[in-house]
Structure 1
Amino acid sequence: MTSSATNLKKGFDDVLGGLFLMTAFTLVWTVIAEVALHGRDYWSIGVLFALVVGFFLVAYSRFYSASKKTKDEAVPDSIEDKAKSKWFNIIFIVEGVMIFVVVNVLNNTGHGNYFISCFALIVGLHFFPLAKIMERTAYYFMGGFISLGAILGIILTNKGFPAYEVTGIVGAWCAFATSAYGITLIKRGNQLLLNSRTQSYQPGS
């Protein structure tokens, strides 16, 4: 078995994992925004990102089928991969603890209307250590963009904007960020599809 086939399989797995998360996150942020707005935007945010999610699901299906057709040999996780997985889990645990603490502090101090913005800020910030550990430059941009949206939400809340407006803005902002990264993953997946087709026509493959 050639290493190129194994690398191709790993590439598809990485794209599939990331695209699954971006699809889920886009859906969650869209629901958060639309539940808060309750149609005040004429459901435009919901319709827009529903189309994006549908696009992601179609792409996911294509990449999944291609991945299944790609033969590879089992390769044990390296020490580096195990370390990345360990820190990945630690970051998500810390993120969950921070969200739990923040929601309790805000509710107990009568500032529950800041929760969505603070929640988004925690989500945005967690991408920075992930970017370092996973060696994904795009995570820095996504983390920064989401954090800016969260800070905007905090400022608007502080200025007295209604909670439903702030939640709608922050939710749409974050859904845009996850959608943008999802599109970059699809571009990467399309390149892998092209590589797999080229590989399948190589003599002796």
Structure 2
Amino acid sequence: MNNQPHLIPADAVKGIASGLLMMACFTLIWAGIAYGGLHGTAYAWGLIPFPVLAIAFVINGISLFRIAGHFPKVESEEDKAEEKKRGKWFGIVFGAEGLGIFIAINVVINIGHPELTIPVIALVVGLHFYPLARVFKRTIDYYLATWSTIIAVLGIAFSLNHTLSQPNVSAFTGIGIAVATSCYGLYMIYKGQELQGLIPTN
């Protein structure tokens, strides 16, 4: 019998499952923002992969919740302390992200550039991946942070210099961040499949 599942706590499996559900939600939100910019154009059909991926994230997330029972509930004291520390910093980063979005929106509105609302939200979202990379010790967060930040900065630039119309800026930014959340979701599916492979068959 393969005893590898006992090395991974059930909470870790549920964490990936929860992450998949979150990525499904965020992917739909950003794809919806993109759709708002592309509505009425033939390009809107190009957004179909995003809801398809969101459905896949939900299905895989539910599957992981179901198999979590095959993994031990008890962790070592060291693991519990580390998980508590990660949870604390995740809460701090998440809270800072919400505060940052609130401040960013108010700043652009008060300086007379409400059209920058979507790009600055994307900027805060992109930047929040950097501390998460350290909290969860995941290299992929650095890539997603850099990608999302570049998309946001370009969105701001395209809006200020009128390279793109406002709807197109929303579409550009929405698609860019939806790509990031989709990649994150696909990464979580990959990690989830690795965990499913650790379940003993006898």
1:193 corresponds to: 196
Scaled by the length of structure 2, the TM-score of the pair is: 0.89
C-alpha displacement at 1:3, in angstroms? 7.6
Which whole-Å CA distance do the structure 1 matches of 2:179 and 2:101 have between them? 22
C-alpha displacement at 1:192, in angstroms? 1.2
2:54 corresponds to: 53
Check whether the contact 2:5–2:71 (CA below 8 A) recurs between aligned residues: no
SS at match of 2:198: helix
SS at match of 2:82: helix
Pick aligned residue for 1:131 from 123, 130, 133? 133
Moved more, 75-84 or 164-173: 75-84
2:15 corresponds to: 14
What aligned pairs does 1:8-47 form with structure 2 within 5 A after superposition? 9-47=10-48
CA deviations 1:55-94 (Å, max 9, x no partner) are 22222232222224x1523336622222221111111111
Gaps of 5+ in 2: none
Q: 2:61 corresponds to which letter in structure 1?
A: Y
The alpha-carbon distance between structure 1 residues 73 and 47, as it changes in their structure 2 partners (threshold 3 A), is closer
Check whether the contact 1:157–1:163 (CA below 8 A) recurs between aligned residues: yes
Which whole-Å CA distance do the structure 1 matches of 2:66 and 2:113 have between them? 47
Check whether the contact 1:30–1:45 (CA below 8 A) recurs between aligned residues: no
Scaled by the length of structure 1, the TM-score of the pair is: 0.87
Gaps of 5+ in 1: none
C-alpha displacement at 1:110, in angstroms? 1.2
Which whole-Å CA distance do the structure 2 matches of 1:200 and 1:72 have between them? 16
2:169 corresponds to: 166
1:178 corresponds to: 181
Which whole-Å CA distance do the structure 1 matches of 2:94 and 2:196 have between them? 31
Check whether the contact 1:34–1:45 (CA below 8 A) recurs between aligned residues: no
SS at match of 2:48: helix
SS at match of 1:200: coil
Which whole-Å CA distance do the structure 1 matches of 2:191 and 2:15 have between them? 10
* Aligned-pair identity (%): 31
Moved more, 121-130 or 35-44: 35-44
CA deviations 1:107-161 (Å, max 9, x no partner) are 1221011111111011000110110111111111111111111111011112212
The alpha-carbon distance between structure 1 residues 11 and 90, as it changes in their structure 2 partners (threshold 3 A), is closer
C-alpha displacement at 1:19, in angstroms? 1.0
SS at match of 2:72: coil
Check whether the contact 2:13–2:192 (CA below 8 A) recurs between aligned residues: yes
Which whole-Å CA distance do the structure 1 matches of 2:156 and 2:171 have between them? 13
CA deviations 1:155-191 (Å, max 9, x no partner) are 1112212111001011011101111111111111111
The alpha-carbon distance between structure 1 residues 5 and 120, as it changes in their structure 2 partners (threshold 3 A), is same
Which whole-Å CA distance do the structure 2 matches of 1:115 and 1:172 have between them? 16
1:157 corresponds to: 159
Check whether the contact 1:6–1:73 (CA below 8 A) recurs between aligned residues: no
Check whether the contact 1:11–1:192 (CA below 8 A) recurs between aligned residues: no
Q: 1:171 corresponds to which letter in structure 2?
A: G
Check whether the contact 1:45–1:172 (CA below 8 A) recurs between aligned residues: no
The CA RMSD over aligned residues, in Å, is 1.9
